[in-house]
Structure 1
């Protein structure tokens, strides 16, 4: 796209509970460009869907306040998929068949994103997911893109970090065997860490419903690793970390972007994750003007600090709108071509796309210090 711009604009918006049209009459008009979205707003992963959709809304409001795209306002039509694949299917069909959207943003978790991607590929609707990390989602169609890095990329980055920064030689890996996210990160980590000369001294599996981790953690403790990799989401991490420290494990804990939120979950026992590290898409400590403007505007609108899901939602919306602007039309083929040629400064890094429509960008390594997430370093993707 060869366009790098920083947006720091006033916000003007008319909202309803499930859709809004910035600077337009209620119900929209023939002069609008309809962009659809589907996120989990009320289901089991609503904390992710709400943040991602809020980020997307903010970006679209900013574009509308600046005059829109192709001299038209953006009508953003948002549907709740409740983290359910059938609801995701129904939401997408409504958006395309009834609302006549010309582009799609979403979903949040990989399962609903994958379901929607198959439908979007058949309809040739340009689609970008902010946070669907499962590796093969974008291979479903050449019109499917994502703003986040994929699960294997996180595993490779963690292996690079464990080897080069932590100087780890012996590592244990805990895997949620019921999670594609956890398995994808773990498998990539093990492959690269061993290729770099490291030793995996223990691998333990658990499931979504498990609550007592001390038996497998005892096995890990006996293997005496220097580092333990736990690729899962923050609620599970908080439970595992607490039990690990209770039985005397003092190894360094590391993980992927699912850790975002673990400091809030362990506010009453912050010592259990103290000194841990995780890779994430961005950090509020980034001093760039783009990041700080985004944080300021997001906090002004939602009265809370934006997490990585919010930042990715914001970036995904901007990438899609810039592609429409560059294409000069809402024609799907032209928009997809513009998406593939993206070169855009974003909150989560300067983004281009590889041949599989995955973003090429750096990541932030976050260190947990004194109960706070602190930027440790920026890490380039493994080549």
Structure 2
């Protein structure tokens, strides 16, 4: 009888000892071994596909890395806290503060569009919490904000590339500009393009802004455009807006060409535009024809997981997660003091000198902006085909 009780007691003792060791181990790992990351994205509103592509890339990255990272001999898992900014600047700023002050995030991915990223970046920088925007190209997102970083190239450079391409390669003499005054992205890239077009010797024969909330009544602008001798229209609008405008241009019989910016990059645009966008060019960050090892690895993983090719938003968000992990590794270890660890991560991100990800090679300047190449693609048979790559001098 005594012997029969001995083994269960020993087994219980061993079990309790193991549990105690696990408890001590968990207790000695800051934050209980969980790193909280915010995801500030437009799941509703005008551009929900942006948020969905970002979510897919984050989920894929976590899956590929077993949702863990090792720092100073301690293993952490990630907890992603998603919030919908509704494509609203005010909501994006509000949920940034909520994620930082109420959910104790270490860092934040997003927002994506510049209209939301600029005000959210002000909050993140003020509260000294690292923020990485996968898609915002407006210089104001990161300007004088050491806690704000980005993955894409900037609007001033892509506008220069587009203007130079039209003037030098396409030999365009007369150009038109149509943009949304309410959009930080559209308004500012239009300004950069205007400056570069004039410097390249092109004549700006039409330059108007419109109300993006009233696309149905844009016809008066387009009729005035049709009365000019413009050869090409620069249209820096989002993928959901471009087909509406281009299709109306086709209806009034305008035979000129249209060129766009990185906001065009979406299969939705290619499908909705159809033949009316055939032969048009736009600038972008990504093409599946990229043959680099990081790009091809990402494409294979994405196709295996989602059974389709990734878009530029997915590739940019994948790189944002890669940069976040590299910043954490540069930080080295976490203390459990959130303010100190946010500062450590900021310094780790700022220390990244060069990186090659799915969207190409890049190096970072003192503003947290990557210096990287712009891709030009041409729409053929409702697909964006690689045309050329233009890199900073």
Deviation per residue, 1:301-339 (Å, 9 max, x gap): 234332111111111111111111122134333322232
TM-score w.r.t. the length of structure 2 is: 0.83
Q: Aligned to 1:133, what secondary structure does the other structure show?
A: coil
Residue aligning to 2:20: none
CA distance in 2, matches of 1:250, 1:203: 18
1:359 pairs with 2:360? no
The worse-fitting range, judged by mean Cα deviation, of 265-274 and 169-178 is 265-274
Please give the secondary structure, in 2, of the residue aligned with 1:234. Answer: coil
TM-score w.r.t. structure 1 length?
0.85
Structure 1 consecutive aligned stretches of length 4 or more whose deviation exceeds 4 Å: none
Q: How many residues align?
A: 354
* Distance apart, 1:202 and its partner CA: 1.4
User: Unpaired runs of 5+ in structure 1?
Assistant: 1-23
Q: What is the Cα deviation at residue 375 of structure 1?
A: 0.4
Q: 1:168 to 1:85 in 2, by over 3 A?
A: closer
Alpha-carbon distance, 1:269 to partner: 5.9
Q: Distance in 2 between matches of 1:265 and 1:103?
A: 32
1-side partners of 2:88 and 2:233: how far apart?
A: 32
Distance between the aligned counterparts of 2:220 and 2:370, measured in 1? 39
Q: Which residue of 2 aligns with 1:233?
A: 238
Q: Is the 8 A contact 1:118 1:140 kept in 2?
A: no
Tell me: CA distance 1:274–1:124, structure 2 relative to 1, closer, same or farther (3 Å).
same
**Alpha-carbon spacing, 1:153–1:98, altered in 2? closer, same or farther (3 Å):** same
- Where does 1:336-375 land on structure 2 (aligned, <5 Å)? 336-342=346-352, 343-375=354-386
> How far apart are the structure 1 equivalents of 2:153 and 2:164?
16
Deviations 1:99-134 (A, max 9, x none): 322122111222332232222112211111111233
- Distance between the aligned counterparts of 1:69 and 1:81, measured in 2? 31
Structure 1's 132 and 368: CA in aligned 2 closer, same or farther, altered over 3 A?
same
The Cα of 1:189 is off from its aligned counterpart by 0.8
Determine the C-alpha separation between the residues in 1 that align with 2:217 and 2:257: 21
User: Which structure has the bigger radius of gyration?
Assistant: 2
Compare relative contact order (CA 8 Å, sep 6+) and give the higher one, 1 or 2. 1
In structure 2, the residue matched to 1:12 is: none
The C-alpha deviation readout for 1:53-92, integer Å capped at 9, x for no partner, is 3222322332336x52313223322222222345434533
Q: Distance in 2 between matches of 1:38 and 1:269?
A: 29
Among 188, 191, 194, the residue aligned to 1:190: 194
* 8 Å CA contact retained: 1:57, 1:314: no
Aligned to 1:16: none
Choose 96-105 or 371-380, whichever is displaced more.
Answer: 96-105
SS of equivalent residue, structure 1 residue 215: helix
Corresponding residue for 1:80? Answer: 84
User: Which residue in the other structure is 1:11 paired with?
Assistant: none
* 3-state SS, counterpart of residue 279 of structure 1: strand
CA distance in 2, matches of 1:114, 1:32: 28
- Report the equivalent of 2:3: none
| Pairing 1:284–2:288 present | yes
C-alpha spacing 1:357/1:202, structure 2 compared with 1 (3 Å) = same
Inter-partner Cα distance in structure 1 for 2:131 and 2:273: 41
Q: Match for residue 112 of structure 1? A: 116
Determine whether 1:377 maps to 2:388.
yes
Match of 1:168 among 172, 176, 193: 172
The alpha-carbon distance between structure 1 residues 112 and 266, as it changes in their structure 2 partners (threshold 3 A), is closer
Deviations 1:233-278 (A, max 9, x none): 12221122112222232222101011112x6445376221111000
Where does structure 2 lack aligned partners over 5 or more consecutive residues? 1-25, 335-340
Structure with a larger share of its residues in helix: 2
What RMSD, in angstroms, separates the aligned Cα atoms of the two structures?
2.3
2:218 is aligned with 1:220? no
Taking a change above 3 Å as real, the CA distance of residues 40 and 360 of structure 1, as seen in their structure-2 partners, is same
Alignment check: 8 A CA contact 1:57 1:76 kept:
no
Distance 1:86 1:265, change over 3 A: closer
